[in-house]
């Protein structure tokens, strides 16, 4: 009888221990989500790239970081780099998962975008192993007036891969990749700007918060392009993240029938000339919301982003909402 009771106790203890591993109110920055089989995986900013898994998109389990140790190329590229990796982007192509990620010095465009590839996201699979392919594109202060962070992979109608990226400086950039997605296929000295806060290229936006003068107040970042029906939709985040209760992050949107743009907002203003319709902004419950991705599960579109929780000292929390469409524009279902 004692053995039976002990066995039952162990079973219940095991259940409780497993339950303790799952969280419903997780703190993240810059999340993206993807599904493999019946599991969902979120990747976000964190030491070595933070990773979470779930079977219901509600209860989340913290997985080990993608990189236990900082990639050597990143250490060599970014002075003082300590394996805190930003804004990953996850996609699937020909049996492999492509994880683009950002390494940067805060407040500078001493930045680069790297790529790691895996054949599975299931961490208990014997084949689970991230293979790093190193630097894809790099920005250098004084040489490039753009910032190589916040990558998002998007394919054109013919399957050609592109990378949209950027933060502050000259705004959001779009560059074609080679078919294997391992390198850029265009001259980085002439990358088009697809979105900016500047209404004219000559407009000077005052630098704030100690930002470099060349970055100025061009507070736009975190691009994400999503194809729906006949349009490509460019999502971006404007104003300021990472300030807790003082965060003013918000999301804007524009659309184009061409991946290369121009992307126009609801008023017809081009995003590469300061346009952009507000999609979602902070309120009494969330100080700021932004850095979103969009994914489709079982025929339903979802938008994933982080928000600064007014009920919890402005801590950044995971938000996953349904995305509906009205008159050809996305609507966040609250």
List, by residue number, the catalytic residues.
Answer: 30, 221
Task: List phi, psi (to 5°) of 272.
Answer: -85, 5
If you search the block for the tokens 């895996």, which residue do you land on?
Answer: 118
What kind and span of H or E run contains 253?
strand 250-256
Residues 82 and 75: their CA atoms lie apart, in Å, by 8
Confirm if 119 and 131 have CB atoms less than 8 A apart: no
Confirm if 45 and 30 have CB atoms less than 8 A apart: yes
- Size of the chain, expressed as the number of residues it contains: 334
Residues 301 and 293: their CA atoms lie apart, in Å, by 11
Of 256, 228, 259, 236, nearest in space to 324 by CA = 228
């Amino acid at each position: 009888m004692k053995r039976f009771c002990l066995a039952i106790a162990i079973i219940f203890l095991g259940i409780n221990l497993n339950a303790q591993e799952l969280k419903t109110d997780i703190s993240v920055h810059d999340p993206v989500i993807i599904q493999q089989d019946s599991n969902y995986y979120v990747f976000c900013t964190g030491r070595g790239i933070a990773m979470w898994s779930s079977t219901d998109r509600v209860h989340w389990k913290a997985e080990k970081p993608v990189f236990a140790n900082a990639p050597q190329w990143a250490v060599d590229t970014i002075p003082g780099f300590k394996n805190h990796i930003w804004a990953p982007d996850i996609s699937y192509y020909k049996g492999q998962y492509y994880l683009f990620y950002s390494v940067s010095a805060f407040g500078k465009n001493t930045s680069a975008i790297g790529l790691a590839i895996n054949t599975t996201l299931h961490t208990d699979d014997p084949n689970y192993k991230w293979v790093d392919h190193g630097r894809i594109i790099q920005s250098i202060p004084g040489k490039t007036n753009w910032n190589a962070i916040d990558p998002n992979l998007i394919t054109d109608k013919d399957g050609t891969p592109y990378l949209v990226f950027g933060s502050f400086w000259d705004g959001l950039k779009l560059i074609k990749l080679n078919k294997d997605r391992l390198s850029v296929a265009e001259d980085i000295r002439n990358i088009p700007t697809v979105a900016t806060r500047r209404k004219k290229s000559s407009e000077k936006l005052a630098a704030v918060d100690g930002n470099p003068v060349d970055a100025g107040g061009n507070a736009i970042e975190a691009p994400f392009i999503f194809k729906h029906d006949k349009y490509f939709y460019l999502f971006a985040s404007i104003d300021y993240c990472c300030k807790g209760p003082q965060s003013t992050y918000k999301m804007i949107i524009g659309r184009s029938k061409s991946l290369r743009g121009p992307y126009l907002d609801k008023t017809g203003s081009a995003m590469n000339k300061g346009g952009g319709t507000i999609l979602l902004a902070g309120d009494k419950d969330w100080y700021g919301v932004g850095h979103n991705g969009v994914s489709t599960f079982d025929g339903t579109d979802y938008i994933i982003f982080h928000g600064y929780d007014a009920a919890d000292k402005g801590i950044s929390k995971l938000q996953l909402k349904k995305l509906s469409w009205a008159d050809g524009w996305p609507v966040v279902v609250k």
